[in-house]
């Protein structure tokens, strides 16, 4: 077997091992707090050796960053999916996009802890902010296409700020109730819409 083939096989095994560790981490976060889980715990949950886990990740914080990366991809895909509903009001379109994201967060304890939990490290918060900016750019595309909102009237940065306003309410809900309850989700939507109405027609 050539060195190139061996290297490719090693890389494939490494990717598979990381995927298994990420999946195991998400399962553990359904039952344990962020600071209760070690890399050894994840390895045991994944059915892998402790050494192989440390070969993939230097520490649990590094693994959490990869988990957030996967969650961010899932959130982006949910928001970016084509809108089939017959909507032309910018508020309805924006709220639909928000609810697509919150639906994933409501159903995924790992996402709630990592993105909105009080113990989430600053590096993860920064990563999530970057994901939100990407989501804002996608939402702007939806608004331009369906509500005919001109980019001169609204920027991705303004939409990003609106998402962050809603996000504050989601964080408060997770801290107070352990989850995003419907009342707080609706409050987040109302706050974000009120902000956007400063820039868009009411």
3-state secondary structure the chain: CCHHHHHHHHHHHHHHHHHHHHHHHHHHCCCCCHHHCCHHHHHHHHCCCHHHHHHHCCCHHHHHHHHHHHHHHHHHHHHHCCCCCCCCCHHHHHHHHHHHHHHHHHHCHHHHHHHHCCCCCHHHHHHHHHHHHHHHHHHHHHHHHHCCCCCCCCCHHHHHHHHHHHHHHHHHHHHHHCCCCHHHHHHHHHHHHHHHCCCCCC
Q: Is the pLDDT of residue 153 over 60?
A: yes
Q: What pLDDT sits at residue 11?
A: 58
Domain boundaries, the chain: 1-58, 65-202
Count other C-beta atoms under 10 Å from residue 60's C-beta: 18
Residue 59 has pLDDT above 80, yes or no: yes
The per-residue pLDDT for range 121-152, each reduced to its tens digit, is 999 999 999 999 999 999 999 999 998 887 67
- pLDDT reported for residue 92: 96
pLDDT in tens, 80-124: 999 999 999 999 999 999 999 999 999 999 999 999 999 999 999
- pLDDT of 12 reads 64
pLDDT the model gives residue 3: 61
| Fold assignment, 1-58 | Arc Repressor Mutant, subunit A (1.10.10)
* Count of Cβ atoms closer than 10 Å to residue 78 Cβ: 16
How many CB atoms within 10 Å of residue 125?
15
pLDDT of 5 over the 50 cut: no
Please state the rounded mean pLDDT for residues 46-67.
94
């Amino acid at each position: 077997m050539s060195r190139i083939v061996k290297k490719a096989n090693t890389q494939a095994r490494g990717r598979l091992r990381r995927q298994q560790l990420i999946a195991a981490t998400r399962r553990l976060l359904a039952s344990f707090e962020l600071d209760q889980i070690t890399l050894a715990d994840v390895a045991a949950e994944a059915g892998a050796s402790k050494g192989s886990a440390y070969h993939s990740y230097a520490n649990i914080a590094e693994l959490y960053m990869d988990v957030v990366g996967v969650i961010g991809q899932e959130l982006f895909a949910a928001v970016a999916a084509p809108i089939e509903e017959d909507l032309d009001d910018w508020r309805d379109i924006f709220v639909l996009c928000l609810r697509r994201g919150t639906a994933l967060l409501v159903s995924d304890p790992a996402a709630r802890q990592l993105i909105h939990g009080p113990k989430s490290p600053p590096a993860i918060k920064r990563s999530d902010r970057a994901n939100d900016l990407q989501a804002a750019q996608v939402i702007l595309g939806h608004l331009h296409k369906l509500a005919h909102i001109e980019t001169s009237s609204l920027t991705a940065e303004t939409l990003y700020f609106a998402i962050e306003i809603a996000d504050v309410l989601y964080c408060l809900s997770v801290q107070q109730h352990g989850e995003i309850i419907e009342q707080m989700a609706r409050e987040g939507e109302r706050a974000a819409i009120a902000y956007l109405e400063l820039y868009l027609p009411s």
